[in-house]
Amino acid sequence: MLTEGKKLRLPNHVAIIVDGNGRWAERHGLPRFEGHLAGLKSVRSTIRCLNQYPIKYVTLYGFSTENWNRPQDEVAGLLRLLEEAVDKEAQELHKQGVKIRHLGRLEGLPQGLEQAINRAIELTKNNTGMTLSLAINYGGRTEILDAVRSIIAECVPPQSIDEKLFNNYLYTAGLPDVDLIIRTGGELRISNFLIWQATYSEYYFTDVLWPDFDEKEIKKALLSYSQRQRRFGGV
Q: Which residues are catalytic?
A: 19, 67
Contacts of 73 (CB under 8 A, 6+ apart): none
Nearest to 87 by CA among 52, 122, 139: 122
According to DSSP, the residues that pair with 104 across neighbouring strands are none
User: Is the separation of the CB atoms in 93 and 51 below 8 Å?
Assistant: no
| Alpha carbon distance, N-terminus to C-terminus of the chain | 32
- Degrees, nearest 5: CA angle 12-17-23: 150
Q: Strands 99-103, 57-64: parallel, antiparallel or unpaired by DSSP?
A: unpaired
